[in-house]
Structure 1
């Protein structure tokens, strides 16, 4: 009888990261960012983190070592070293965003016939890609609130590929909050000293009414605690200002969430 090998640490870590990533992918797709655009944008992050990891271990950052740790090819590593991919280049933009950019650059009318001549939406899309169907691109831009489709006309609603303008600030705040939370939790996993507060409470077998009560109660507790904490933090900030070592930022947060744990549904 053969023994079952335990999963590799890398496999377990990937499983947990994917659990987190499904929410990030939802956010990306909702805003019109596809897999190729995202994967290309990840490369500089893998490159920089591979360098940090090797330097922390006292290992020389050769092309071979960087390739092994980052999972990128040596050719890609060389491109980073020559500063060709340190930023997301224009060819990593999604087809819809490139269509929008070209539309504005060519100063085409805000209302284009879907097909029929050189100044049609179909002709515009074909300048970018012959693999993507123009109707699919139009539908995607409409979903993002960037165009309106009126019978056989595609009408430009915005000259900037920034859908859902009213949530940009909320996204930026979410990024800061989640980044701080992950940084604290990941630090606690790999470091035994100076552990950050990173905890949560879970309670099962609750009715919807009870969940609503807990949501309200947690809001009241947070309102009281955050006011006290902010007052104390402001006093310390006033005390420390103008000191040469006053270069640190402290943050603490709270979240609430509920879902249906009934496995029979």
Structure 2
């Protein structure tokens, strides 16, 4: 058991290092992280008991599971505040994705009239379809313009980005970071705990490259992902349309590359396939 704890803590340290880097860059201090960790421990302990068939775990059960005293557990009386938007429910993201999907089938649709007749493609129609009429198209267009993903000239909207990456909006970037990394880690944790079904989780790694070679590889991945992204968007849209009423399944498919100069001489290694799936 002691060795198992050592291994788990080492894995947590690797996972937390970039989280701490982000926290320090944003001015987050130890008391903030300590409070957050306590709250997350209690929430996850409660969910753990609920998965075991205990809908309302008591203070003693939560205290034993987390190692926190009963006073600390009692002080946790409300859910963690969520000041970040949930990216999967963003009308702007849904509209952008649908527009990109249409563009892959017809390149002439990069520029659309903001409003048009029923027979002509328009941004208004795309926004209505993607948001199911719940958000006014002008609100969605203004948000995409604010994020520098769409421009508007003389009643015409034009796509200016090739992916929904709101680099001009820190709150949105942090929301995407939280959602994307969370689900990546959820897949890895689920596989490590041998939960079912097994999630796809793979990577390929090499050391001893030039930074230019790293950038060339990243460019290749971007090109391949662009094609796969369109296929996935089409299949997801089709599946949502065929889903029965009340369906609550969700899926997120992502991809990443990361490279850096570790400094100093290094020995080249052949790429290593990591077998996790």
* Both proteins in one fold, TM over 0.5: yes
**Residue 196 of structure 2: which of 169, 187, 193 is its match?**
193
Please give the secondary structure, in 2, of the residue aligned with 1:201: strand
1:48 corresponding residue in structure 2: 43
Alpha-carbon displacement from aligned partner over 1:128-158 (angstroms, at most 9, x marks no partner): xxxxxxxxxxxxxxxxxxxxxxxxxxxxxxx
Deviates further, 62-71 or 167-176? 62-71
Name the CA shift for 1:65/1:263 in 2 (closer, same or farther; >3 Å). Answer: farther
2:176 corresponding residue in structure 1: 173
**Residue 210 of structure 1: which of 195, 198, 213 is its match?**
213
- Runs of 5+ consecutive residues of structure 1 not aligned to the other structure: 1-5, 89-163
1:7 CA displacement:
4.9
Alpha-carbon separation, structure 1, partners of 2:79 and 2:178:
21
Please report the TM-score for the alignment, with normalisation by the length of structure 1. 0.60
Name the CA shift for 1:171/1:86 in 2 (closer, same or farther; >3 Å). Answer: closer
Say whether 1:236 aligns with 2:231: no
Please give the secondary structure, in 1, of the residue aligned with 2:48: helix
Q: Is the contact made by 2:45 and 2:62 (CA closer than 8 Å) also made in structure 1?
A: yes
Say whether 1:224 aligns with 2:227: yes
Q: Over aligned residues, Cα RMSD in angstroms?
A: 2.6
1:72 corresponding residue in structure 2: 68
1:205 CA displacement:
2.4
Q: What is the 5 A alignment of 1:48-197?
A: 48-57=43-52, 61-80=57-76, 83=77, 86=79, 166-197=169-200
- Runs of 5+ consecutive residues of structure 2 not aligned to the other structure: 82-166, 267-277
Alpha-carbon displacement from aligned partner over 1:15-55 (angstroms, at most 9, x marks no partner): 11111111111111211211101211222221121222234
Name the CA shift for 1:231/1:165 in 2 (closer, same or farther; >3 Å). Answer: closer
Larger radius of gyration: 1
Alpha-carbon separation, structure 2, partners of 1:66 and 1:9:
22
Alpha-carbon displacement from aligned partner over 1:205-236 (angstroms, at most 9, x marks no partner): 22222212111111111111111221222222
Alpha-carbon separation, structure 1, partners of 2:4 and 2:242:
45
Please give the secondary structure, in 1, of the residue aligned with 2:206: coil
Alpha-carbon separation, structure 2, partners of 1:173 and 1:220:
21
1:254 corresponding residue in structure 2: 255
Q: Is the contact made by 2:190 and 2:196 (CA closer than 8 Å) also made in structure 1?
A: no
